[in-house]
Structure 1
Amino acid sequence: MKIKQSVASRIFDTLNYTVMIFLMIVMIYPLVYVFSASISDNALVSSGDVLLLPKKVTLVAYKQLAANSDLWVSYWNTIRYTVVHVILTLITTAAMAYPLAKKWLPGRKLILMMAAFTLLFSGGMIPTFLVVQKLGMLNSIWAIVLPSMISTWYLFIMRTFFEALPEELEDAATIDGCSSLQVLLRVVMPLSMPVMATIGLFTAVNQWNAFFDALIYLNDRSMYPLQIMLRNILIAGTTIQGEGDMSLLQTMKYAIIMMATLPILCVYPFIQKYFVQGTMIGGIKG
């Protein structure tokens, strides 16, 4: 049976579709423009003739970037920083959130209050730098990963998710002889893939786009992530091959933006299902 919509409902749907289409255009156009500019003739890009579609298609900017070894070194650095950061963040956050989700934990409220305190106040940049320096982590991957390994906001999100899981599942696993660690790894974690995927994606995006920590803690060029190279080209206006590349600088800017953006965009479709699936797959059926 077809349900007849009211006039107000049709107006709302029309406005909703209009706003969504407008927002979609606003978000997609910059990406399309950057891609078109990256494969267009540099003179046309500089003169503003490229507005949407590419003109006089050329891949010289990508070839110039691909021929530079610093690009691939920075790519590798960004990948390993991101992978290590995501893995450690998920492990440590889950290990801290799981006991905090249990009311029997001694000092639970005090620990939660101390964690919430860090949402409002932090040690500051200079004290954090001094701690990293005293620990001997400068110019290492740990200077990038460890200071921001645990996010209090993600901790509270994961704790709330763990609290919503039925205790009957954990009780059944305990009766079967599982320890607390085995319950976490074999029962809780498989049921927590949606929140793990969400936090993992947000952590990966933040780390992939991060450059400020690298500016502070890294002095060795061989340790620079991709975003430092992107910053040097976009903001500092430097080239990666020498003065002979100044004529290609405009298209190289757009090309390196595409090369820095596409990998992290390609990750989302593979974990999209975890955002929409139920949080209790295989749970208790009443």
Structure 2
Amino acid sequence: MKMSAGEKVFQVFLILFFTILSVAMIYPFLHVLSISLSTAKEALRPGLHFFPHEISLFAWKKVFTTNTVWLAFGNTVFRTVMGTFLSLIAMSLAAYPLSRKYLPHRSFYMTFIIITMFFSGGLIPSYLLIKSLGLVDSRWVLIIPGLISTYSMFILRNFYMGIPSELEDSAKMDGANDIRILFSVIIPLSKPVLATLALWSAVGHWNAWFDALIYLQDPDKIVLQTYLRRLVITAEGDPILPLRTPDMEPETVKAAVIMFTALPILILYPFLQRYFVKGVMVGSLKG
């Protein structure tokens, strides 16, 4: 179709807008990556850093040979994998009965759950609750309190409501109970929305630091984001940071740790991206 003059102007505006937006998002990554691969002299050079003019792998060698980084990385991987897996299981177990119209008092349960999206007890009551449950300084304190996201659970519930009830009736005629129907029929048909929610949950767990900062005191349980925060903001004397000399610059090591922290999620995203739009759109069709 031939576009009018107004439509052409709008198309040009969209292209310029999204080009500027893309550059604004991509440049910080390029800047940090360039600093991490630069020599101390190059890292201190004022101006834009799109790529290093003088390459040095000192910062990355320092990252890969520091035990604390790998300890924090392992703790974060454990939190992300276990947290995402258990979260999907818990949300599926909650969303499936709420998606069935024959559930007694379904409206009451829905209202009760929706309230939790807008009101919380606050930090101090939450800490006292966690302490009374004996979860302080436990790895599970990073997983159990946030096991179910109400918003994500409702998206999953809406998706389940869109699955034809005839499939469930057929399975019941074959002798399947509700648990068997959920895991053998419903979940296999829900891969797009589950992949989307898995991505949200994984990114949330990977980037979380505040709960670990509050509830964990054991240095062996430190997670990557908490370590990164300590390194960038407060830890000039951290063993990973070299002394500032003409040949060594702590900022290059900080930049390398930042990139090391961001890369796993950047690598994971393309594998789940194809499910992302489909899962969100299908999960929002029914209310």
The TM-score normalised by the length of structure 2 is: 0.91
Q: Is 1:251 aligned to 2:252, yes or no?
A: yes
Which secondary structure state, in structure 2, belongs to the residue aligned with residue 245 of structure 1?
coil
Q: Which residue of 2 aligns with 1:108?
A: 106
Measured after TM superposition, the shift of residue 158 of structure 1 is 1.0
Q: Which residue of 1 aligns with 2:261?
A: 260
Q: Which moved more, 1:134-143 or 1:93-102?
A: 134-143
Q: Given the alignment, which residue of 137, 143, 152 partners 1:139?
A: 137
- 1:171-186 superposed matches below 5 A: 171-186=169-184
List gaps (5 residues or longer) in structure 2: 283-287
RMSD: 2.0
Which secondary structure state, in structure 2, belongs to the residue aligned with residue 238 of structure 1?
coil
CA distance in 2, matches of 1:223, 1:238: 21
Which secondary structure state, in structure 2, belongs to the residue aligned with residue 62 of structure 1?
helix
- 1:1-286 superposed matches below 5 A: 3-49=1-47, 51-241=49-239, 244-246=242-244, 247-277=248-278
Which secondary structure state, in structure 2, belongs to the residue aligned with residue 159 of structure 1?
helix
Q: How many pairs were matched up?
A: 279
CA distance in 2, matches of 1:88, 1:219: 24
Q: Which moved more, 1:258-267 or 1:131-140?
A: 131-140
Check conservation: 1:36, 1:50, Cα contact below 8 A: no
- The CA deviation string for residues 226-267 of structure 1, in whole angstroms up to 9 with x for no partner, is 111101111114343267434431111111010000001110
CA distance in 2, matches of 1:63, 1:43: 18
Partner amino acid for 1:182? R
Partner amino acid for 1:140? S
- % identity of equivalent residues: 38
Which secondary structure state, in structure 1, belongs to the residue aligned with residue 144 of structure 2?
helix
Check conservation: 1:37, 1:50, Cα contact below 8 A: no
Q: Which moved more, 1:212-221 or 1:126-135?
A: 126-135
Check conservation: 1:239, 1:249, Cα contact below 8 A: no
CA distance in 1, matches of 2:29, 2:73: 20
